[in-house]
Amino acid sequence: MATKTQQPPQLQLDEITAAQFIDIWKHYDADGNGYIEGKELEGFFHELEVARHGAGLDPDNAVFKEKMIEFMANFDKNKDGRIEMSELAQILPTEENFLLCFRQYVGSSSEFMTAWRLYDNDRSGYIESNELKGFLSDLLEKANRRYDDKKLNEYTATILKMFDLNGDGKLGLSEMARLLPVQENFLLKFQDITLNTEEFNGLFTLYDKDGNGYIDEQELDALLKDLCDKKKMKVGPEGLGSYKASIMALSDEGKLYRTELEIVLCRDSTL
């Protein structure tokens, strides 16, 4: 929704650039949870109607609600009542939607985390902006998607604009993982149950029974099950297995050290 101090980015039905797409997404996903939903969704649909027809209806109008139901039936592919980034990319025409490209070809979250581990070699939870181009290039090459240097530079600059909000030249794992489809982004699943430093240290110590500073895959499995139960997070065996595989992609030959797990679970870490 528009505020008095900042107008929403203009929705247009001609082709938009990758940078314009990012501006629109960031405006309407105001809480940054990876979806346009609730009042955000009403505001977006109202502006879309204005762009299409030159005028919009009041959200309380019955016709508005009917049109919105029809709109969601066409574009809410997973029928969850929300619009995620890949669904928005189907609504707004782009010159070449680089986000869809990544989401279609980047593969699983495990592959994403494996590439991340290569570039975040100090295990800080960040990669430097000057390493971003190599990170993106590696992900695309794994998917047999290669772009010329000019296009890759454009994608890199756009993603840097999206994520480096404080201009410090660092990009966080939890932010960059938004390149993944929402269902693959296990970090989004854990964002509501992240631990403070004291809770994390207690949990890690409990499962690192021999005190060697790391836990293995079986210990991680038990840790995640207990954490999900404690936080009343409903995750099936398939989902839990996917989360575990993604986190283990950060490990060192099956050894998951404190710093790697802290990046994922601890809200008081460097993230």
Q: Where are the chain's structural domains? A: 18-95, 99-176, 185-265
- The pLDDT of residue 271 is 34
52-100 pLDDT, tens digit each: 777 767 888 888 889 889 989 988 887 889 988 767 877 876 655 566 6
The topology (CATH level 3) of 99-176 is: Recoverin; domain 1 (1.10.238)
At 3, is the pLDDT very low, low, confident or very high (cuts 50, 70, 90)? Answer: very low
Distance between CA atoms of 161 and 156, rounded to whole angstroms?
Answer: 9
234 — pLDDT class (breaks 50, 70, 90): confident
Q: What is the pLDDT at residue 189?
A: 65
Q: Which of 17-26, 61-70, 174-183 has the highest average model confidence (pLDDT)?
A: 61-70
What's the pLDDT at 94?
A: 62
Q: Is the pLDDT of residue 110 over 50?
A: yes
Res 143: pLDDT: 64
Residue 37: which pLDDT band, with cuts at 50, 70 and 90?
very high
User: What's residue 183's pLDDT?
Assistant: 61
Residues 145-174, mean pLDDT to the nearest whole number: 77
DSSP notation for the chain: ---SS-PPPPP-SS-B-HHHHHHHHHHHSTT-SSEE-HHHHHHHHHHHHHHHHS----TTSHHHHHHHHHHHHHH-TT-SSSEEHHHHHHHS-BSS-HHHHHHHHS--HHHHHHHHHHH-TT-SSEEEHHHHHHHHHHHHHHTT----HHHHHHHHHHHHHHH-TT-SSEEEHHHHGGGS-GGG-HHHHHTTS-B-HHHHHHHHHHH-TT-SSEE-HHHHHHHHHHHHHHTT----HHHHHHHHHHHHTTSBTTBEEHHHHHHHHBTTS--
Average pLDDT over residues 7-29: 72
Q: Rounded to whole angstroms, how far apart are CA atoms 220 and 48?
A: 45
Q: What is the mean pLDDT of the chain?
A: 77
- At 105 the pLDDT is 56
Region 1-15: mean pLDDT is 57
The answer, yes or no, to whether residue 251 has pLDDT greater than 70, is yes
- Residue 92 corresponds to which amino acid? L
122 or 102, higher pLDDT = 122
pLDDT tens-digit readout, 200-213: 888 888 888 888 88
What confidence tier does 269 reach under pLDDT thresholds 50, 70, 90?
Answer: very low
What's the predicted TM-score (pTM) here? 0.55
> How buried is 202 (Cβ within 10 angstroms: 0-12 exposed, 13-18 middle, 19+ buried)?
exposed
The reply to whether domains 18-95 and 185-265 share a CATH topology is yes
Check whether 268 has a pLDDT greater than 50: no
Which CATH topology does 185-265 take? Recoverin; domain 1 (1.10.238)
Judged by average pLDDT, the poorest of 5-14, 45-54, 136-145 is: 5-14
Query: Residues with Cβ < 8 Å from 260, sequence gap 6 or more?
Result: 123, 247, 250, 251, 252
Name which of 40, 2, 263, 20 is nearest 161 in CA terms. 20
Class in CATH terms, 18-95 = mainly alpha
Q: How far is CA 113 from the centre of its chain?
A: 13
pLDDT at 188: 65
